[in-house]
Amino acid sequence: MSVPYETTAYEPHRSPESPEEQLARLLGRALNSFELPDETIRALDCALAYDGSLHSAHHSAGLHRETYRHTWLLADGSALTLWELVHNTAPGGEPQHEVYLDEEELGTATGRLPLPPDSPRFEQPVLVQLSALPEARHAYAPGDAADHARRLLRRAENADRPGEETAALLETACGHRITQAFGRPCRAGRTGLGYSLYEHAFLLRDGVEVSLWEVEHTATPDGRHMCEVYTTQKAARDAMERRAAQVS
């Protein structure tokens, strides 16, 4: 007699592993991981968060079959899901792992698995309460965001620039985006004063967003280009006003 795997509430597995480590473990145990498209692997290399859950299961006469849903939050705010099939081909046999890009491929693979002749061919779905993945306010560019943060803070010349605590926080940045909020790009030596304000938005691995505000200007005694960085837009705009007052 077929006995479906009975559970009505399954909490997604919480692990201290990073999204990259979760991906590496999945690909390492899946027999067909080489079939995944290269562009999928490249996208997952920049994943910011991970959530996994049991999707469905069937146990019968020594045979078992489970499907798992693995979802990653990507740097651009979208989500990518891979489907894992775990099964044995003989009663008591070792479990085998396969991974698929969509549910159609998963269904085809599931249909090839043996079931006892007298067992009903059905899956009992598992009711899953997925944790909400953080929604990003920006679309973030791939690349070394932590290095971008280090270079931004290094070129800041203001005495009240963000300190070591902010620098340490941004070491965990996984994505970044630059948006101009005011002015035009200013160049040293050009006629007249130049002021520009930029928001440097960073996405951390835990989904938290942090912004730094960069003021670029030529309001210096010799007209040279100067960079200042602040933790809030108000502080940055106040600095622009002070600089303008000093040279007026």
The beta-carbon contacts of 190-196 under 8 Å, at least 24 apart in sequence, are 190/218, 190/223, 193/217, 193/218, 193/219, 193/244, 193/247, 194/218, 195/219, 195/240, 195/243, 195/244
* Cα–Cα distance measured from residue 198 to residue 179, given in angstroms and rounded to the nearest whole number: 6
Q: What percent of the chain has pLDDT over 70?
A: 75
Q: Give the tens place of pLDDT for each residue, 79-125.
A: 889 999 998 877 777 889 999 998 888 888 888 876 543 344 434 44
> DSSP secondary structure string, 63-125?
EEEEEEEEEEE-TTS-EEEEEEEEE-SSTTPPPEEEEESSHHHHHHHHHTS---TTS----EE
Closest CA to 26 of 72, 69, 84: 84
Angle at 63 between CA 61 and CA 68, to 5 degrees: 135
Q: What type of residue sits at position 211?
A: S
Q: In this predicted model, which residue has the larger pLDDT, 210 or 222? A: 210
Most confident of 47-51, 214-218, 232-236: 232-236
Instruction: Give the range among 61-65, 69-73, 125-129, 228-232 with minimum mean pLDDT.
Output: 125-129
Q: Give the tens place of pLDDT for each residue, 120-154.
A: 443 444 433 434 444 455 567 666 888 899 999 99
Average pLDDT over residues 236-241: 84
Q: Which pLDDT belongs to residue 1?
A: 33
- Using an 8 Å Cβ cutoff, are 98 and 85 in contact? yes
Q: Which pLDDT belongs to residue 156?
A: 93
- Using an 8 Å Cβ cutoff, are 138 and 203 in contact? yes
Q: Which pLDDT belongs to residue 192?
A: 55
Q: Which residues pair with 12 in a beta bridge?
A: none
Q: In this predicted model, which residue has the larger pLDDT, 169 or 76? A: 169
Q: Residue holding tokens 């602040």?
A: 230
Rounded (10°) CA dihedral 139, 143, 149, 150: 180
Per DSSP, the three-state class of 225 is coil
Enumerate residues 6+ apart whose C-beta is below 8 A from 23: 44, 45, 47, 50, 72
* Cα–Cα distance measured from residue 228 to residue 162, given in angstroms and rounded to the nearest whole number: 10
Q: Give the tens place of pLDDT for each residue, 16-56.
A: 577 888 899 999 999 988 888 988 988 888 777 788 888 88
